[in-house]
Amino acid sequence: MQKVLTGNQTVSWGVMRARAQVIAAYPITPQTTIIEELANLVDEGKLEASFIKVESEHSALAGCIGAAQAGARTFTATSAQGLALMHELIHWASLGRLPIVLADVNRAMAPGWTIWTDQNDSLSQRDTGWLQFYCESNQEVMDTAIQAFKIAEIVKLPVMLVLDAFFLSHTAEAVDIPEPEEVDKFLPPYEADLKVDFDNPRAFSGMTGVDIYQEFRYLQHEAMNEALTVTEKVDQEYGKQFGRTYGLVEPYRCEDAEAIIVTTATATSTAREVIDQWRDRGESVGLLKIRTFRPFPTELVREALRGVPKVGILDRNICPGFGGIFAQEIKASMYDMEEKFRPDIYGFIAGLGGRDITPDTINEILEKTIHPEKTEKHLNWIALRD
Amino acid sequence: MNDEKVNIKSYRDIPIAAASLGKMSVNKTASWRNAEPYYEEKSAPCNLGCPAGTDVVKYLHLATQGKYEEGWKTILNTNPFPATCGRVCPHPCEVNCNRENLGGRLNIHMIERFLGDVNFDKKLEPEFLEDKKDKSIGVVGAGPAGLSCAYQMARRGYGVTVYEALSEPGGMMRVGIPDYRLPKEILTREIDFILDHGVKLKLNTRIGKEITFEDIRAEHDAVYVATGLHLSRNLGAEGQELEDVIPGIEVLRKIAFKDEISLGDEILVVGGGNTALDAARSVLRMGCKPRIVYRRSREEMPAIAEEIEDLIEEGIPIDFLTLPKRVYGNDNGKIVKVECVRMELGEPDDSGRRRPVEIEGSNFNVEADMVITAIGEQPDLSYLTSDVKAESWGVLVDGYGRTNLPDVFAGGDSATGDGTVTHAVGHGRQTALAIDAFLKGEDPPDCEVIEHSVEGRSMHQVEWEEINPVYFEPAERLKPKGLEIPHRVKNFEEVYSGFTEEEVLHETSRCMSCGNCPECDNCLVFCPDSAVTKNPDGGYTINYEFCKGCGICVAECPRSAISIKVL
């Protein structure tokens, strides 16, 4: 079935297809229409779930944690300050090994007060032990939503499904919605191993001594590593059943490339067009889309960039005092590569607070990467009003 | 993991997230408890306020669920006069109602009246609590105390004979309370239900005249004396012997029996109690112009507050702080005027009320051709033999209604002077239980328990601070609809109509069931340790192996049916 859906509606429909059982959420622009649509779907009986209205994002995630601990498939959604308010429980969900799926509609952090997109809200949660998938299109949102529950439930870690504010959340596209029975085959009901069980009562999340805490961290980290292969496998499986795969990263026209631009999320679509234009002109340039930020696909990135002379990394985020966050991750991944294969890497910051990333933005980055005479290696601000 | 400590050698030995291993037997959360909750049903203010000892909170709960017949029977357990008391009782049950803080006290008496009325046409089968016995009691006086005692004894299988001087039963309910407050078919129906229990009623039988007190004692195994207050106090003013100076209770009795009565035009009614008010409002309805004089102020008036308001609404003037000094008659002995004097309040007297003192030189005359006296009544105990200890105000009894003679009991106004139908009903029941115990050779049950139906509940009265108001919506107290004044002052039609079912349900829905568990499950839902379970036969059990004494169940109990003690 195809429908014209906004990115937010797509999230809701994906969650419905995944048959989430408990949804606890608090509204915040630009996320609001996700939970409005879910509330409608629950109200209309299309989704059999408990929809819990709560008084804050902190409570929303707490509600999900309780429900997940009881063995329910749970979902919540938020943005920016809402995600920040959840932070304490973001850790809790992961160390509690609860496979909650959260849709974060990327919104820049205030102040100044803003509702437009950039990635600092979700990237601030880098070290919380959540998987993070950045989506390029509404179709990818749909497919990733369904995959997210499966991956989460296998590795027993929570997943953040990330989409750009407005560029996806409020933009409508034709989306292929998998049939419910097909999704049911792909994603069977959730069976939690470690859950509240009245016949076998036990205490959860209790005081953990110095003799054992580090071991829980080890297990969490190992699960994150396992998630790399699980994500790959689930994506392949999904592709077999529904005909679409995304990979953890996606190289686009990278054959014999002199230079590669690395992008994430909706900026990728714009970059594809620009790469096509450069290739049509006979220029050897390519594109690497990073879809999975956590766990970081280090090997896949190394493989894609190995031997490429120049790499420009577009970051729609900023780690103040260091630079782009994806650039930081990629540089760290390349550090121990043999020098002759290791590319020159240039960092670019663009599109913060929802500023458009246009074909001109991409052109400028490609130009500055291919002709780096006046380019800073570490950090370049694009379209800065200086 | 059982009680032994497990030595964890590897991350492979632990679950993926922090959780106790296996059962919780090593982690019984109760181990850090320093306070312990326990279920304790407490007394609602209405229950403690009811002089008849009726389980008010229970019948309100039944009414909430539309179980009107069960509610009716709940009242009948302690009081055979719900329809009557619903109308005439000054409802002390409402005085401390915690709803005061959320829209006004519950209109309990109107709900009681509804329960008494709603099945009016249904004939209830008497329910006997015990088998028939060969012992019998004699009850002197068919007023509320006597009939209540008779009813309770008959239910317990005793033979009961009630001796009544008047031609109809009911005592002051029959001859003291006018029809506009209590239509007599209501009373008759409720008395008939008592008689259905096999109670024999001997009317027109005045003790000391038709039959002696000794005869009755010889006839029965025990005697209950409850003859009320039917002697009016004298006016104590010059001219009191005039023909048209009549006691209020006589006026009311004659009106009740529809006896011939010649009334004046302008009538001075002396007194501030219910008799004065009833007499004034009755003669108003017969076309006279009554005027009340009372020697103290409105605050000291012993009459029911609502009745005072109704009387003022009906346009009857009251001269407060006024005392009749002399009644002037003409040559034919007909009253022409009454001289009165103004009073002021001095130091408190024995009753705690401030003593009225005459203001010298404040005398004035009031036009009147009749004086009704209602300044207090006394019992007529002339029929008693001298071996029964009594004072002029009544028979001497203990808390169980026992006199100095083991087989003689007394109650109602002629012993206690409490002055309301419901007090009399309560006393009749309480003494019935004492008589029952006497006839069985046992000690009587605990007075307090009988008085307040507190079995299974503590006597602690639930205060507003113990209610969790979050669980209750504010809602206004409903008031009954009254007849328009111009219409009602012309006849004896009942002034207030009863509540409709809708109104009753509104009013009962406001009841917070103070101290009484209606099994709302809050304790169970809120317990963080799942230490509360529901019993199959009602109620809850706390698992003290896991209850850590956090007190959330106590805080979230809307009505204080759980208590907590520090260990």
Q: Is residue A128 situated within a structural domain?
A: yes
Instruction: Select the residue of A96, A193, A211 nearest B8 (Cβ to Cβ).
Output: A211
Residue of B nearest to A192 (CA): B16
Given A195, A224, A242, the domain boundary residue is A242
User: Is B11–A203 a contact, with Cβ atoms under 8 angstroms apart?
Assistant: no
User: Is A216–B22 a contact, with Cβ atoms under 8 angstroms apart?
Assistant: no
Q: In chain B, which residues have their Cβ closer than 8 Å to the Cβ of A212?
A: 8, 14
Given A216, A242, A268, the domain boundary residue is A242
Q: Is residue B131 situated within a structural domain?
A: no
Q: Are B248 and B219 in the same domain?
A: no
User: Is B23–A202 a contact, with Cβ atoms under 8 angstroms apart?
Assistant: yes
Q: In chain A, which residues have their Cβ closer than 8 Å to the Cβ of B8?
A: 211-212, 215
Instruction: Select the residue of A95, A194, A211 nearest B15 (Cβ to Cβ).
Output: A194
Q: Are A170 and A296 in the same domain?
A: no
Instruction: Select the residue of A98, A202, A212 nearest B24 (Cβ to Cβ).
Output: A202
Q: Are B503 and B540 in the same domain?
A: no
pLDDT of residue B24: 58
Contact A133, A159 (CB under 8 A): yes
Distance CA(B237)–CA(B324), nearest Å, equals: 7
User: Is B23–A205 a contact, with Cβ atoms under 8 angstroms apart?
Assistant: no
Q: Is the peptide bond before A354 cis (omega within 30 degrees of 0)?
A: no
Instruction: Select the residue of B17, B21, B27 nearest A97 (Cβ to Cβ).
Output: B17
Q: Is residue A386 situated within a structural domain?
A: no
> Which pLDDT band, with edges at 50, 70 and 90, does B209 fall under?
confident
> Which pLDDT band, with edges at 50, 70 and 90, does B22 fall under?
low
Q: Are A322 and A207 in the same domain?
A: no
Given A215, A242, A269, the domain boundary residue is A242
For testing contact with chain A, the best of B2, B9, B11 (most A CBs within 10 A)? B11
> Which pLDDT band, with edges at 50, 70 and 90, does B5 fall under?
low
Structure tokens at B223: 């005697």
Query: Please, is A261 exposed, middle or buried when counting C-beta atoms within 10 Å of its C-beta (0-12, 13-18, 19+)?
Result: buried
Instruction: Select the residue of A95, A193, A200 nearest B23 (Cβ to Cβ).
Output: A200
Q: For position A206, which CATH number holds? A: 3.40.50.970
Q: HSE on the CB side for A98, CA within 13 Å?
A: 32
Average pLDDT, integer, range B204-211: 92
Q: Are B386 and B368 in the same domain?
A: no
Calculate how close chain A gets to B18, using CA atoms only, in Å: 5
SS3 B294: coil
Residue of A nearest to B25 (CA): A202
Instruction: Select the residue of B17, B20, B530 nearest A96 (Cβ to Cβ).
Output: B17
Q: In chain B, which residues have their Cβ closer than 8 Å to the Cβ of A92?
A: none
pLDDT of residue B21: 73
User: Is B18–A219 a contact, with Cβ atoms under 8 angstroms apart?
Assistant: no
Pairs across A and B, CB distance < 8 A: 60
User: Is B20–A203 a contact, with Cβ atoms under 8 angstroms apart?
Assistant: yes
Q: Are A64 and A164 in the same domain?
A: yes
**Per the structure, how many domains does chain A have?**
2
Residue of B nearest to A66 (CA): B528
Q: Is residue B544 situated within a structural domain?
A: yes
pLDDT of residue A209: 84
Residue of A nearest to B26 (CA): A202
DSSP string for A155-215: HT--EEEEEETTTTTT-EEEEEPPPHHHHHHHSPPP--SS---TTS---BS----TTTHHH
Question: Which pLDDT tens digit goes with each residue over B396-408?
Answer: 999 899 999 999 9
Q: Are B288 and B371 in the same domain?
A: yes
* Strand-by-strand arrangement of the A285-290 sheet: A249-252, A285-290, A259-263, A310-315, A344-349, A380-381
Please tell me if residue A202 touches chain B, with a CB cutoff of 8 Å. yes
Contact A227, A157 (CB under 8 A): yes
Q: Is the peptide bond before A30 cis (omega within 30 degrees of 0)?
A: yes
Q: Are B363 and B414 in the same domain?
A: no
A249-252 and A380-381 beta bridge pairing: unpaired
Structure tokens at B489: 């002052």
User: At a CB cut-off of 8 Å and minimum separation 6, what does B425 contact?
Assistant: B51, B52, B78, B79, B80, B81, B85, B144, B145, B148
> What is the pLDDT of chain B when averaged over all its residues?
92
pLDDT of residue B2: 42
Distance CA(A331)–CA(A349), nearest Å, equals: 15
pLDDT of residue B242: 92
Instruction: Select the residue of A95, A201, A223 nearest B24 (Cβ to Cβ).
Output: A201
pLDDT of residue A199: 78
**Per the structure, how many domains does chain B have?**
4
* Rounded alpha-carbon distances, angstroms, from residue B470 to A246, B24, B102, B558: 52, 34, 11, 8
Q: Are A258 and A160 in the same domain?
A: no
> Which pLDDT band, with edges at 50, 70 and 90, does B8 fall under?
confident
Please tell me if residue A19 touches chain B, with a CB cutoff of 8 Å. no
Q: Is residue B457 situated within a structural domain?
A: no
Structure tokens at B370: 């009749």
Q: Are A21 and A124 in the same domain?
A: yes
Of A316, A252, A302, A305, the closest CA to residue A278 belongs to A252
Q: Are B278 and B362 in the same domain?
A: yes
Look-up of token digits 């002029």: B392
Residues of chain A with pLDDT under 50: none
Q: For position A317, which CATH number holds? A: 3.40.50.920
C-alpha dihedral (A211, A212, A218, A219), degrees to nearest 10:
160
Q: Is residue B235 situated within a structural domain?
A: no
Q: Are B287 and B369 in the same domain?
A: yes
Q: Is residue A361 situated within a structural domain?
A: yes
pLDDT of residue B23: 59
pLDDT of residue B352: 82
E strands within B212-334?
A: 222-225, 231-232, 245-247, 266-270, 289-293, 318-319, 322-329
Q: In chain A, which residues have their Cβ closer than 8 Å to the Cβ of B29?
A: 203
Calculate how close chain B gets to A198, using CA atoms only, in Å: 9
Of B170, B98, B159, B171, the closest CA to residue B131 belongs to B159
Residue of B nearest to A94 (CA): B17
Q: Are A215 and A257 in the same domain?
A: no
Calculate how close chain A gets to B145, using CA atoms only, in Å: 57
pLDDT of residue A315: 98
**Where in the sequence is the domain holding A86, given as residue range(s)?**
2-242
Q: For position B263, which CATH number holds? A: 3.50.50.60
Q: In chain B, which residues have their Cβ closer than 8 Å to the Cβ of A208?
A: 18
Q: Are A217 and A261 in the same domain?
A: no
DSSP string for A128-162: GS-EEEE-SSHHHHHHHHHHHHHHHHHHT--EEEE
Q: Is residue B12 situated within a structural domain?
A: no
pLDDT(B25) > 90: no
Specify the pTM.
0.70
Residue B335 — φ and ψ, nearest 5°?
Answer: -70, 140
Q: Are B361 and B304 in the same domain?
A: yes
Look-up of token digits 């996606």: A250
User: Is A215–B16 a contact, with Cβ atoms under 8 angstroms apart?
Assistant: no
Q: In chain A, which residues have their Cβ closer than 8 Å to the Cβ of B18?
A: 95-96, 204-206, 208, 216
Q: Are A259 and A122 in the same domain?
A: no
> Which pLDDT band, with edges at 50, 70 and 90, does B149 fall under?
very high
SS3 B35: strand
pLDDT of residue B26: 60
Q: Is residue A81 situated within a structural domain?
A: yes
pLDDT of residue B202: 97
Please tell me if residue A209 touches chain B, with a CB cutoff of 8 Å. no
Distance CA(B475)–CA(A114), nearest Å, equals: 44
Please tell me if residue A95 touches chain B, with a CB cutoff of 8 Å. yes
Calculate how close chain A gets to B14, using CA atoms only, in Å: 8
Residue of B nearest to A196 (CA): B19
Q: Are A216 and A314 in the same domain?
A: no
**Where in the sequence is the domain holding B323, given as residue range(s)?**
243-349+356-377
Please tell me if residue A210 touches chain B, with a CB cutoff of 8 Å. no
Q: What is the ipTM of this complex?
A: 0.85
Given B388, B410, B445, the domain boundary residue is B445
For testing contact with chain B, the best of A91, A97, A202, A225 (most B CBs within 10 A)? A202
pLDDT of residue B419: 84
- H helix or E strand, kind and range, residue A249: strand A249-252
Q: Are B439 and B553 in the same domain?
A: no
Q: Are A373 and A300 in the same domain?
A: yes
Q: From the centroid of its chain, how far is CA B276?
A: 21
Distance CA(B376)–CA(B379), nearest Å, equals: 10
Please tell me if residue A225 touches chain B, with a CB cutoff of 8 Å. no
pLDDT of residue B1: 38
Calculate how close chain A gets to B520, using CA atoms only, in Å: 21
Q: For position B533, which CATH number holds? A: 3.30.70.20
Structure tokens at B118: 């709603």
Q: Are A35 and A171 in the same domain?
A: yes
Q: Is residue B9 situated within a structural domain?
A: no
Q: Is residue A268 situated within a structural domain?
A: yes
Q: Are B77 and B202 in the same domain?
A: no
Q: Is residue B18 situated within a structural domain?
A: no
Q: Are A236 and A258 in the same domain?
A: no
Q: Is residue B128 situated within a structural domain?
A: no
Q: Is residue A151 situated within a structural domain?
A: yes
